[in-house]
Amino acid sequence: MRQIQKRHEPHRLTQFRAAYQSDPNFNYDLIDASLRKEIRQALMAEQRGLCAYTGRRIDEDSCHIEHLKPQKHCLKGEDVSYSNMVACVPAPNAPDLPYGARKKNSWPDPKIPAQAALFVSPLQEGCEERFSFTLNGEIGASNPEDRSAKETISHLRLCHDQLTQLRKAAIDNTLGVHGKGPASLDLSAARRRLAGLVRAESNTDPLEPFCFVLKQALEKHIKRLEAIRRNKKEQL
């Protein structure tokens, strides 16, 4: 999960709320298809082309508008608040995935304070550092005592094997050199690759899928190679 910096909402959404806020049926269902498309485009841009929960690549045809506070629990106007919206896989009419937004469903329930506090939102500062990934793509809480990270992983099924394998494939592709096998990237190349991912954060172009996972993988790979280099020097 990568932290999302919210930007200004689409002007048409602002106009929509002004026009319909007195309507007794004022809610998300009143937003027409063209405005929903505009909202998705705005969300994709601020998320740099990544699903808010999984880190998978998204485009206009492969994502839906997800409500951080579930629609079931929204008060009047909350389900049309841009600050409550992110873009996630899958597309609205696509088959459900065994992980991600659809599995989150109506969790957490804000009426249960202890439950509401267990959701790690992609809007929360430092959310990225709360999850750790192995070189096999497995996810866990960075702090074993971080119950919220663990519950978020569980409710969003971020540990599902299909998603784990997607992360592993991205890691293998990053750390491996064609013809040399997995984890064959040398130290200099690994440092350059990591620096490239860090630099990418400073612009507005689409990010690489699972970039937050790849950064951790490269950092671990670099530490391992540096340790090997130190050990060789000590043996001389």
Instruction: Write out pLDDT tens, residues 111-136.
Output: 898 898 999 999 999 999 999 999 99
Residue 102 has pLDDT above 80, yes or no: yes
Residue 100 token pair: 């991600």
Q: What is the pLDDT of residue 179?
A: 80
What distance lies between CA 21 and its chain's CA centroid? 31
Percent of the chain with pLDDT over 90: 89
Instruction: Write out pLDDT tens, residues 145-197.
Output: 999 999 999 999 999 999 999 999 999 999 998 788 788 999 999 999 999 99
Contacts made by residues 18-23, CB under 8 angstroms, sequence distance 24+: 21/77
Among 208, 190, 197, 217, residue whose Cα is nearest residue 136: 217
Start-to-end CA span in the chain (Å): 43
Residue 99 has pLDDT above 80, yes or no: yes
Q: Side-chain half-sphere of 57: how many Cα atoms within 13 Å?
A: 8
* pTM (two decimals): 0.94
Instruction: Write out pLDDT tens, residues 219-229.
Output: 999 999 999 99
Give 181's DSSP letter.
B
Instruction: Write out pLDDT tens, residues 46-70.
Output: 999 999 999 999 998 999 999 999 9
Residue 84 has pLDDT above 80, yes or no: yes
Using the structure block, give the residue that is written with the tokens 């909402």: 9
- Strand, helix or coil for residue 31: coil
Q: What is the pLDDT of residue 183?
A: 85
What is the Cα–Cα distance from 66 to 47, expressed in whole angstroms? 13
Residue 35 has pLDDT above 90, yes or no: yes
Q: What is the pLDDT of residue 155?
A: 97
Q: For all residues of the chain together, what is the average pLDDT?
A: 95
Dihedral angle computed from the Cα positions of residues 106, 145, 213 and 92, in that order, rounded to the nearest 10 degrees: 0
State phi, psi for 177 to the nearest 5 degrees: -110, 130
What is the Cα–Cα distance from 206 to 167, expressed in whole angstroms? 18
Q: What is the pLDDT of residue 136?
A: 96
Q: What is the pLDDT of residue 58?
A: 97
Q: What is the pLDDT of residue 182?
A: 83
Contacts made by residues 127-132, CB under 8 angstroms, sequence distance 24+: 127/1, 127/2, 127/3, 128/1, 128/2, 128/3, 128/212, 130/1, 131/1, 131/158, 132/216
Residue 106 token pair: 């109506």
- Strand, helix or coil for residue 77: coil
* CB 58, CB 2: distance < 8 Å: no
What is the Cα–Cα distance from 175 to 165, expressed in whole angstroms? 15
Sketch the domain layout of the chain as residue ranges: 11-235
Q: What is the pLDDT of residue 27?
A: 96
